[in-house]
Amino acid sequence: MTAEQFISHAIPALHLYDTGESALLWMNLLSVHHLPVVENTRFVGIASFDSLHEGGICSIGSLIKRQPDTSHLCVLNTQHVYDALKLVSEHQLTVAPVVDTDRRYLGSIGVKELLEVFTQIVNVQEAGDTIILEMHPNDFELKKLASIVESDGGKILNFYTTSLNESQLMQVHLKVAGRSTNAIVQSLERFGYSIAGVFSDAKYLDDAHDHYNQLMRFFNL
């Protein structure tokens, strides 16, 4: 799942000679707030909807010169697509530019593609219940968790982690399949794990689809 595999060819690159007006037209047409900028084939930065609306922008070249450097806001084609998710999340972007090791621009990943990646992470299509654990990062051992789940006839279908910065703890979301989620939860508690929540398959799928649809509506995709 490299970044290059998720490039959307529907997202154009802006050139230094392009006008701010044409860039805004493209952004409105594609429902994005950012577009990559190239000089010949080299990625040189990102133009944003807000910066173009500040006024006095005759060309994309003048924008690149006057705004803070954004040439680092990209991912390598060989990086995992999760790094593209991290990039757009940390910098609140609506596209993730993809380059090679020579910084040649290869294309961009759009929000729609990244949302589809997110649905793969949470594995919303496969049946199973979700158990959320809270623990210190040093206590996270996937092999041990898998052993506990399997001892009760279950199987871990998917997992992901989130940080709880205020308490220096992490949450581990386990999507499991098996005869009895209750038995798995009881076994985890016996081993000292703190259970933050248990979601049935139907509810978790409904919630995941609701969040996905809300995000899609937010980005007008």
And the tokens for 3? 């970044």
150 and 110 in a common domain: no
CATH number at residue 28: 3.10.580.10
pLDDT recorded at residue 221 = 45
How far is it, in rounded angstroms, from Cα 5 to Cα 184? 37
138's tokens: 């040093």
Q: By residue range, what is the domain housing residue 25?
A: 3-118
Each residue's pLDDT tens digit, 46-55: 999 988 887 6
Neighbours of 100 (CB within 10 A): 14
User: 198 pLDDT exceeds 70?
Assistant: yes
pLDDT at 210: 57
From residue 49, alpha-carbon distances to 44, 57, 129 in Å are: 17, 12, 41
Q: In the predicted model, what is the mean pLDDT of residues 200-216?
A: 55
Percentage of the chain lying above the pLDDT 70 cut: 84
Q: Are residues 136 and 198 in the same domain?
A: yes
Q: Is residue 211 part of a domain?
A: no
Q: What is the pTM of this model?
A: 0.65
Band (pLDDT 50/70/90 cuts) for residue 220 is: low
**Residue 95 burial (10 A CB sphere; 0-12, 13-18, 19+):** buried
